[in-house]
């Protein structure tokens, strides 16, 4: 599993040109992808890590506060392209991506995990849909998480 976290002052998502959701008070945009070999039991560790990662400034300007500390929300977006293999040629291969049904369930579990941890609002894209995302990066602070690192450090 991979997640790209982007700290934002605001973000919005349009899904299939018919649904629109806003993360108007800021927080994190989380692009989330699942790879072959990943396990469903990795998802809770991802949720905990993301919700508690101290990547927001405190009053002294230090990165010392988490999403939960600040009471900010998350916009979670499924993104199979995070599993791209660009080693050969010019066209990425997505053969490392997990099977769609498994990846969909992992994404739904991620969104539910944020909600259960009290991340509010939790806004999400829709697996397999055409999505347009607008965001204003804050910092910018961009963090890449990989399940291999999270599970090893747990």
CATH code of residue 110: 3.50.80.10
Q: Cβ(116)–Cβ(44) under 8 Å? A: no
Q: Is 153 inside a domain boundary?
A: no
Structural domain boundaries, residue 132? 2-146
Q: Are 116 and 65 in contact (CB under 8 A)?
A: no
Percent with pLDDT over 90 in the chain: 90
Domain count of the fold of the chain: 1
Would you say residue 135 lies in a domain? yes
Tens of pLDDT, residue by residue over 13-33, are: 999 999 999 999 999 999 999
Tokens linked to 104 = 């969909």
3-state secondary structure of 120: coil
Does residue 152 belong to any structural domain of this protein?
no
Domain assignment present for residue 151? The answer is no
Whether omega for the bond prior to residue 121 falls within 30 degrees of 0, making it cis, is yes
Mean pLDDT for the stretch of residues 76-80: 96
The pLDDT, as a whole number, for residue 149 is 84
Summarize pLDDT for 30-66 with one digit per residue, the tens: 999 999 999 999 999 999 999 999 999 999 999 999 9
The answer to whether residue 154 is domain-embedded is no
Domain contains 74:
yes
pTM equals 0.94
Half-sphere exposure (Cβ direction) of 31: Cα atoms closer than 13 Å:
17
């Amino acid at each position: 599993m991979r997640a790209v976290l982007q700290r934002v002052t605001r973000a919005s998502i349009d899904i299939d040109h018919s649904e629109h959701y806003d993360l108007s008070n800021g927080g994190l945009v989380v692009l989330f992808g699942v790879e072959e070999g990943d396990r469903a039991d990795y998802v809770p560790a991802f949720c905990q890590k993301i919700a508690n990662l101290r990547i927001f400034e405190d009053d002294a300007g230090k990165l010392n506060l988490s999403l939960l500390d600040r009471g900010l929300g998350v916009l979670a977006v499924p993104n199979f392209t995070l599993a791209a293999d660009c080693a050969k040629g010019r066209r990425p291969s997505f053969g490392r991506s997990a099977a769609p049904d498994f990846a969909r369930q992992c994404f739904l579990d991620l969104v539910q995990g944020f909600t259960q941890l009290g991340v509010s609002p939790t806004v999400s894209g829709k697996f397999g849909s055409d999505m347009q995302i607008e965001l204003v990066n804050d910092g910018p602070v961009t963090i890449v998480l990989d399940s291999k690192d999270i599970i090893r450090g747990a």
